[in-house]
Amino acid sequence: MIKKLFLLLVFFPLWLTAQNNKFANDTVKVNDFSDAKYHFNVKQIIIPSALIAYGVIGLHNDDIKKLNTDIRDEVLKNGHKENRIDDVTRFVPMLSVYALNLVGVEGEHNFGDRTIILTTSLLVAFTSVRSIKKLTNVQRPDITSYNSFPSGHTATVFAGAEFLFQEYKQKSIWYGISGYVVATGTGLMRIYNNRHWLTDVAAGAGIGILSTKIAYWVYPFLKNKVFKGGNTESKVTAMAMPFYNGEQFGGSVVVRF
């Protein structure tokens, strides 16, 4: 069952290709920084800020703490069985961007530029999650450690979901929706596996979304000042992407063939 669910999550965005290709606009913007995603706007941070605020308030609010506990107790009462599919699904949205490009569905950026954006997003999320975990020192619901808040898995998957949305929203809104479905499911699995409280997941989601938005805001600077506006498609053939899941440091490597 888990294998079938994993295959569905991986190939669902590819299935959308057949459904939406005939409506797609194949023009890819290159170095056009007039798009709203490259510029800070208060409206862009309302949802991620609300999610983070809920998580932070929940650290000290008795009603929210009780809701956390009630959810945990309900999960355990209904015959909780831990599985680790969320260790895999956290990477599905971001890797879908590369998979879609591999089968010929072009996103907003070429390989080098989108990897710069994704790496920036993951670095922001990694730094934020690690720092906040040390500051808050919240015990996990399974009482194994004191690094529960916020959820690193959830931050990673929501960063990827926002990345998928931004790269393919001009093609079809359904690509972005599929990414957020996977992200939401991953966050819920963190609760089901008794690894995180609801507030951990909410804050992680907000951090992930905001991290990707920040990555797009700083991308024009990186492109023009760090990479000097060069052709990153021809210069970048591989990129290491760090991650932090709340327990281990690690990384993944994307290679352009």
What digits encode the pLDDT tens for the residues 107-127? Answer: 999 999 999 999 999 999 999
* pTM across the whole model: 0.81
143: left (phi over 0), alpha (psi -120 to 50) or beta: left
Which comes out higher in pLDDT, residue 5 or 84?
84
What is the DSSP code (8-state) at residue 139?
Answer: P
Whether the CB-CB separation of 112 and 233 falls below 8 Å is answered with yes
To the nearest whole number, what is the mean pLDDT of the chain?
A: 83
Which comes out higher in pLDDT, residue 157 or 251?
157
Q: Quick check: helix, strand or coil at residue 38?
A: helix
At 35 the pLDDT is 84
Average of per-residue pLDDT across 95-109? 95
- Distance of alpha carbon 214 from alpha carbon 122, whole angstroms: 11
What's the Cα-to-Cα distance from 213 to each of 159, 182, 219, 231, rounded to whole Å?
9, 19, 10, 23
pLDDT digits (tens, 9 = 90+) for 144-179: 999 999 999 999 999 999 999 999 999 999 999 999
Average of per-residue pLDDT across 59-75? 96
At 164 the pLDDT is 98
At 228 the pLDDT is 72
Nearest alpha-carbon partner for 54 in 208, 244, 205: 205
